[in-house]
Amino acid sequence: FDSIAIMTSGGDAPGMNPAIRGVVRAALSEGIKVYGIQRGYSGLIADDMSTLQSGSVSNIVQRGGTVLKTDRCIAFKDPAVRAAAAEILRRRGIGALVVIGGDGSLTGAHLLEEETGIPVIGIPGTIDNDIFGTEDTIGFDTAVNTALEAIDRIRDTATSHERHFLVEVMGRASGAIAINVGLAAGAEMILVPERAIDVAAISSELAASRRAGTGSSGIIVVAEGPTPGLTARLAEQLREQGQDPRVCILGHIQRGGSPSGHDRVLATCMGAMAIRYLCAGYSDIMVGVRDGSIIDVPLDDVIRFRKGLDPSLLDMALQVHR
């Protein structure tokens, strides 16, 4: 390829910047020109892009968010819009597209390739770690550590006031953040979308540990789940059962912040490997991790299959409070 384009799409994740840097530096070293597309698919269909030099990605490796900006672009779900997007890329002589984002963004990339023949490479950038075919996603480690720091602080208050706190972390469909944060924080309970919530059982467990003198305070980590307001509703139901938990919703603080060392290394390697795969003629794949090594995963599989939680981790997490 003479030229490629790169974008970030969907929710921002810490580590997107080192991934952009990895792609740009690897491409330039191969003599490939790189266009940076602004605001994901919205910028692509508006032809909002400019060339990136080596210096364009200096001093971003440590910054959260994404310097290319990101967006959700409903219009890109329309095949006619994707055809127009391919035309824009072709007119500029851009031979391939690298997309950094979550499963929605990777779905868009796969469809673009399938329908228009534009080669695409996906990089999993999402704090949720919910993408099939890869053990890790860019931003997950940072988000877990950010939530953990917050929970350690909340525990000080919970202990001092002898209270239980319901702490809501991100994860609409996946309990990956909740389980990792819960285990690391020594949470008394972890509630995830993969398991039904039994309010009566939680209430009696809290009451029993209080009676036993072992549980006057504690942290219950709750993944936000698919419907907004879950944690507030749960607190209300627990109050009706005689408990008095406090609620803390961590929200967007989990998405920002300087990427951890782990995420910087992961993102840099994934970015560089995306270019290596492109140069080797691969397309319609995502760069993933298996057994600690970088691998290629067909995008078709990525969007067709759902990633489940590691069953042993899930069992361990659900047992910690017993």
Which residues are part of the catalytic machinery? 128
Asked whether position 11 contacts ligand ATP by CB under 6 A, the answer is yes
Asked whether position 111 contacts ligand ATP by CB under 6 A, the answer is yes
140 phi and psi, to 5 degrees? -65, -50
Helix-helix angle 261-279:16-29, to 10 degrees: 40
Say if residue 98 carries a ligand binding annotation. no
Q: Which is nearer to ligand ATP, 72 or 233 (CB)?
A: 72
Beta strands in the chain (DSSP E): 3-8, 33-37, 49-52, 97-101, 120-124, 164-169, 189-191, 218-223, 246-249, 285-290, 293-298
Write the single-letter amino acid at 284: D
Strands across the sheet containing 293-298? 49-52, 33-37, 3-8, 97-101, 120-124, 285-290, 293-298
List the Cα angle 54/61/57 in 5-degree steps: 20
- List 103, 141, 263, 284, residue binding ligand ATP (CB under 6 A): 103
Helix, coil or strand: residue 82: helix
- List 36, 65, 101, 124, residue binding ligand ATP (CB under 6 A): 101
Q: Which stretch binds ligand ATP (CB under 6 A): 104-112, 193-201, 248-256, 291-299?
A: 104-112
Asked whether position 72 contacts ligand ATP by CB under 6 A, the answer is yes
CA atoms lying within 13 Å on the CB side of residue 64: 21
Say if residue 239 carries a ligand binding annotation. no
Asked whether position 171 contacts ligand ATP by CB under 6 A, the answer is no
Asked whether position 108 contacts ligand ATP by CB under 6 A, the answer is yes
Asked whether position 124 contacts ligand ATP by CB under 6 A, the answer is no
| Measured distance CA(208)–CA(212) in Å, rounded | 6
Minimum Å gap between C-beta 77 and ligand ATP is: 4
Say if residue 308 carries a ligand binding annotation. no
Say if residue 131 carries a ligand binding annotation. no
Contact 294, 268 (CB under 8 A): no
Q: Which is nearer to ligand ATP, 64 or 108 (CB)?
A: 108
Asked whether position 41 contacts ligand ATP by CB under 6 A, the answer is yes
Asked whether position 43 contacts ligand ATP by CB under 6 A, the answer is no
Burial 217-232 (b: 16+ CB within 10 A, else e): bbbbbbbbbeeeebbe
Q: Which is nearer to ligand ATP, 77 or 290 (CB)?
A: 77
Binding site residues for Mg(2+), as ranges? Answer: 103
Binding site residues, as ranges? Answer: 11, 21-25, 72-73, 102-105, 126-128, 155, 163, 170-172, 186-188, 224, 246, 252-255
* Contact positions vs ligand ATP (CB under 6 A): 9-11, 41, 72-73, 76-77, 101-105, 107-108, 111, 126, 128
